[in-house]
A and B are shown apart, each in its own frame.
Chain A
Amino acid sequence: MLIHDYALDGFYDEMFDDHGNPRPGTEAVIERFKQLPLEELQRRQQAAEKSLLQMGITFSVYGDEQGAERIFPFDIVPRIIHQSEWATIEQGLKQRVLALNHFIDDVYHEKNILRDCVVPEELVLSASGYRPECVGLNPPGGVWCHITGTDLIRGADGQFYVLEDNLRCPSGVSYVLENRVVMKRSFPKAFDAARVMPVADYPNRLLEMLENLAPPRRDKPVVAVWTPGIYNSAYFEHSFLAQQMGVELVEGRDLVVVDDRVMMRTTTGLKPVDVLYRRIDDDFIDPEEFRDDSMLGVPGVMRAYRAGRIALANAPGTGVADDKAIYAYVPDMIRYYLDQAPILNNVETFLCWREQDLKHVLANLDKLVVKKVGESGGYGMLVGPHATQEERDDFGLQVRSNPRNYIAQPTLALSRVPTFIDNHFEGRHVDLRPYILFGEDIYVMPGGLTRVALKKGSLVVNSSQGGGSKDTWVVETSVLEGGDSC
């Protein structure tokens, strides 16, 4: 590995400390990469990409030719987190998801947190993810957000911060699983030396969690993954998860509600379904209750849900906590519901609906990242320092016309990881999306999806905007080959 010319450029690096020394847990990998000649690294990078291509691990890009699929670029250098640090992240995520679940349940029932003015009522009721239809609903076990994909970033100070909570249909877990398969094939020795915590049991845990949601009295619950169809950008993942769990992948047109039971149309007649892992937004699940122009939905699903005859994961209405303006109040929720100090902090956030904040945002558009509150996937955002004056002016007008719809955050110096670019290593900015399952208890997948902005200097890691991914290793200890492990 040609580390001698690897430059830190003043950013926090995940692999090396400020003096260029390996961080705890990375020694074995660095050692292994050093031993491999450049040609061998090239060969393995190509082999890794080829095997992802052959496995057909693709995503669709909206606005592109209909159904055009692309490969999610993959980088061979893993992102490594030591177990001791991971333990804190894990605790922080559990705490956060627990508080968020309390919040959602509260919002649709007693509304205590609104009455106590901890979160402004107006903000909640105007959130695009708030569903008045869900008031009074009681999902099984009181759990609303069964699957969460929290976005974390590490700042210049070396601390992890929560950027987004992603409680609706977080995608990307299939890349985590497939990246791991590819890395094990490409770097068996490095794997052997670093003791990496496994991720492969995720589909099992997901299935177990989903099966537990089934209405009682079903011996062998029928679980299905509900996809919007092959033109959805995450279709590959839907198909992959169904296959890994050994359950049916269904579309809206496969389902029908009869006597408040959701049934699948099969070659031998209708078969009941007990649990739907839906990868489709609230708006589209039931044209009787939500958008009546939905072609993807199934009339009557919400009736069946109310009657307790079908379980939906995540529960309808969960998106209220996904609003980027409500995000700003999550630390307050943790204090309010759990009476604890937040373990993971938020990124400093300006809410444009507050007059003071709006002024600050408009005056500092060149320094801030401005985001639409209801969007995700890197759409509807402005990275001030990288935008043109015209783009900033344009965005400023949009913000002014609907301040409730926008938040702003400082442009963060995201941490970097060495990345194999044009046959040498360069630092590239990354984030981290661990996946959290909330069933009988809360499980956090060790690691998660590390997305990397492959364009030099870019801070946008989304797959739709030129991002790639890396395997994420949570290592328990690092054993140096023939060396001292302590």
Chain B
Amino acid sequence: MLSRVAESIHWMARYVERAENVARIMDANYHMILDLPAGFGGQWEPLIVTTGDEELFKQFYDEFNRENVVHFLTFDDRNPNSIFSCLRQARENARSVREWISSEMWQQINTFYLMLKDAARQGGGIELPHDFFVEIMMASHLFTGLAENTMTHDEAWRFGRLGYMLERADKTARIIDVKYFILLPSLDYIGTPFDHILWGSILRSASAFEMYRKRYGQIAPDEIIDFLVLNAEFPRAIHYCLIMAEFSLRTISGTMRGRFSNRAEKTLGRLLADIDYISVEDIKTMGLHEFIDGLQTRLNDVSDAVFDTFFSIPELRTAEQS
């Protein structure tokens, strides 16, 4: 298939996933803040820090308050990672591959985009943030469900799934990292109900609260890390995402598990193997923040390798082939 088409489908899926995650992180933060003791309620800065757009934010805004952060992450078209920008780009990509995706998928992404555009046009004031963010998450689920059930699971579809699984792994990693940036009043708070609220919020940001409870019951940081990083069955856990991404990638070229036929497979295969055999103890020895940092760098390497392998064909190499 055409490289451009593969790339567009890949990014279409990725941008929808990104929009959904931004919505969920904000929703969880709204909830958390309402439960915090007076004086510690204004914690919006970590959201920007974890998305990596701190510099950009500071160009346009003076203060990390709720209004600014929510606007920057939801409607601001100057932020390429705002929900609105993500959907615009997802739709743009979808429009260029309309003959590849199902018309149901196209209609859903179109409707989704128009919904955001309308909300943005009405000034972007969000009356009921929870309802609004849930609507965004559900629209994204509907899109992913339509992709699952109305499109042939062929090469094009696999590039889409590879895209959103890589995106999701990255976002779950960032959600865990929020903890690192949230300011506790003092070290004494670690292990108190206050600390539990923060960990609970992290689980909720990954839609993992209930599933975690079912499995472990009590809120315990080690077990949360185990669940969000190492679980192979929870669909937003990093391990699960990497298994699915790696599977999608191998089925594109038809390579067996444990082998590789290109740099993308090599980079992702290695990363998955490391996660396959790492334990919570190992992560703690390394330091959670440092571990997450390293993971994000390696996820970026995977994305670069996917781009080089499939989307950008160096002309010299191919000239020799012909």
Contact A265 B98 (CB under 8 A): no
Contact B252 A267 (CB under 8 A): yes
Residues of A within 8 A of B319 (CB): 258-259
Contact A265 B2 (CB under 8 A): yes
Instruction: Check A13 for interface membership: any CB of B closer than 8 A.
Output: no
Chain A residues touching B, majority SS: mixed
Nearest B-chain residue to A235, judged by Cβ: B95
Tally of A-B Cβ pairs under 8 angstroms: 67
Instruction: Check A402 for interface membership: any CB of B closer than 8 A.
Output: no
Among A67, A243, A269, contact of B321 (Cβ-Cβ < 8 Å): A269
Complex formed: what's the CA distance from A249 to B252 in Å?
21
Complex formed: what's the CA distance from A269 to B310 in Å?
8
Contact B98 A239 (CB under 8 A): yes
Complex formed: what's the CA distance from A251 to B106 in Å?
20
Residues A270 and B106 in contact in the complex (CB < 8 Å), given A243-B99, A253-B4: no
B163 to chain A, nearest CB (A): 13
Residues of A within 8 A of B106 (CB): 56
Instruction: Check B251 for interface membership: any CB of A closer than 8 A.
Output: no
Instruction: Check B302 for interface membership: any CB of A closer than 8 A.
Output: no
Contact A267 B6 (CB under 8 A): yes
Contact B4 A256 (CB under 8 A): no
Instruction: Check A55 for interface membership: any CB of B closer than 8 A.
Output: yes
Contact A254 B3 (CB under 8 A): yes
Residues of A within 8 A of B315 (CB): 256, 258
Contact indicator per residue, chain B 294-322, by CB within 8 Å of chain A (1) or not (0): 00000000000000001101010011011
Residues A56 and B107 in contact in the complex (CB < 8 Å), given A230-B95, A249-B99, A266-B1: yes
| Chain B contact patch, size range | 20 to 34
Complex formed: what's the CA distance from A267 to B7 in Å?
9
Complex formed: what's the CA distance from A253 to B2 in Å?
11
Complex formed: what's the CA distance from A251 to B321 in Å?
22
Contact A269 B2 (CB under 8 A): no
Contact indicator per residue, chain A 255-267, by CB within 8 Å of chain B (1) or not (0): 0101101011111
Residues A269 and B6 in contact in the complex (CB < 8 Å), given A56-B106, A56-B107, A242-B99: no
- What count of chain A residues pass the 8 Å CB interface test? 30
Instruction: Check B103 for interface membership: any CB of A closer than 8 A.
Output: yes
Contact A269 B98 (CB under 8 A): no
Instruction: Check B92 for interface membership: any CB of A closer than 8 A.
Output: yes
Contact indicator per residue, chain A 48-87, by CB within 8 Å of chain B (1) or not (0): 0000001110000000000100000000000000000000
Contact A263 B318 (CB under 8 A): yes
Residues of A within 8 A of B103 (CB): 54-56
Among A236, A248, A270, contact of B318 (Cβ-Cβ < 8 Å): A270
Residues of B within 8 A of A269 (CB): 313, 318, 321
Contact A265 B313 (CB under 8 A): yes
Nearest A-chain residue to B156, judged by Cβ: A267
Nearest B-chain residue to A224, judged by Cβ: B2
Instruction: Check B96 for interface membership: any CB of A closer than 8 A.
Output: yes
Instruction: Check A417 for interface membership: any CB of B closer than 8 A.
Output: no
Instruction: Check B207 for interface membership: any CB of A closer than 8 A.
Output: no
Instruction: Check A214 for interface membership: any CB of B closer than 8 A.
Output: no
Nearest B-chain residue to A55, judged by Cβ: B103
Instruction: Check B53 for interface membership: any CB of A closer than 8 A.
Output: no
Contact B322 A263 (CB under 8 A): yes
Instruction: Check A210 for interface membership: any CB of B closer than 8 A.
Output: no
Instruction: Check A342 for interface membership: any CB of B closer than 8 A.
Output: no
Contact indicator per residue, chain B 270-303, by CB within 8 Å of chain A (1) or not (0): 0000000000000000000000000000000000
B95 to chain A, nearest CB (A): 5
Contact B110 A266 (CB under 8 A): no
Contact A254 B2 (CB under 8 A): yes
Residues of B within 8 A of A56 (CB): 98, 103, 106-107, 110
Most buried by A among B99, B106, B310: B99
Instruction: Check B76 for interface membership: any CB of A closer than 8 A.
Output: no
Contact A267 B96 (CB under 8 A): no
Complex formed: what's the CA distance from A263 to B318 in Å?
10
Residues A54 and B107 in contact in the complex (CB < 8 Å), given A259-B322, A267-B6, A270-B322: yes
Instruction: Check A41 for interface membership: any CB of B closer than 8 A.
Output: no
Contact A266 B107 (CB under 8 A): no
Nearest B-chain residue to A242, judged by Cβ: B99
Among B1, B96, B155, B252, contact of A230 (Cβ-Cβ < 8 Å): B96
Contact A258 B322 (CB under 8 A): yes
Residues of A within 8 A of B92 (CB): 67, 230
Residues of B within 8 A of A229 (CB): 96
Residues A270 and B98 in contact in the complex (CB < 8 Å), given A254-B3, A265-B2: no
Contact A264 B96 (CB under 8 A): no
Instruction: Check A250 for interface membership: any CB of B closer than 8 A.
Output: yes
Among B2, B252, B311, contact of A264 (Cβ-Cβ < 8 Å): B2
Residues of B within 8 A of A264 (CB): 2
Residues of A within 8 A of B107 (CB): 54, 56
Contact indicator per residue, chain B 103-127, by CB within 8 Å of chain A (1) or not (0): 1001100100000000000000000
Among B99, B155, B318, contact of A267 (Cβ-Cβ < 8 Å): B155
Nearest B-chain residue to A246, judged by Cβ: B99
Contact B98 A251 (CB under 8 A): no
A72 to chain B, nearest CB (A): 16
Which residues in window 239-292 of A have CB below 8 A to B? 239-240, 242-243, 248-251, 253-254, 256, 258-259, 261, 263-267, 269-270, 272
Among B4, B95, B98, B310, contact of A254 (Cβ-Cβ < 8 Å): B4
A391 to chain B, nearest CB (A): 35
Contact indicator per residue, chain B 192-221, by CB within 8 Å of chain A (1) or not (0): 000000000000000000000000000000
18 contacts between A and B (CB under 8 A): A56-B103, A56-B110, A230-B92, A230-B95, A235-B95, A240-B99, A250-B2, A251-B4, A253-B4, A256-B315, A259-B319, A265-B2, A265-B3, A265-B4, A265-B313, A266-B3, A266-B313, A267-B155
18 further A-B pairs in the complex, CB-CB below 8 A; given A251-B4, A265-B313, A270-B318: A56-B103, A56-B107, A56-B110, A67-B92, A230-B92, A230-B96, A235-B95, A250-B2, A254-B4, A259-B319, A261-B322, A265-B2, A265-B4, A267-B159, A267-B311, A269-B313, A270-B322, A272-B322
Query: Which 10 pairs, one residue from A and one from B, show the smallest C-beta to C-beta distance?
Result: A243-B99, A270-B318, A267-B310, A265-B3, A265-B313, A239-B98, A239-B99, A267-B6, A230-B95, A230-B96
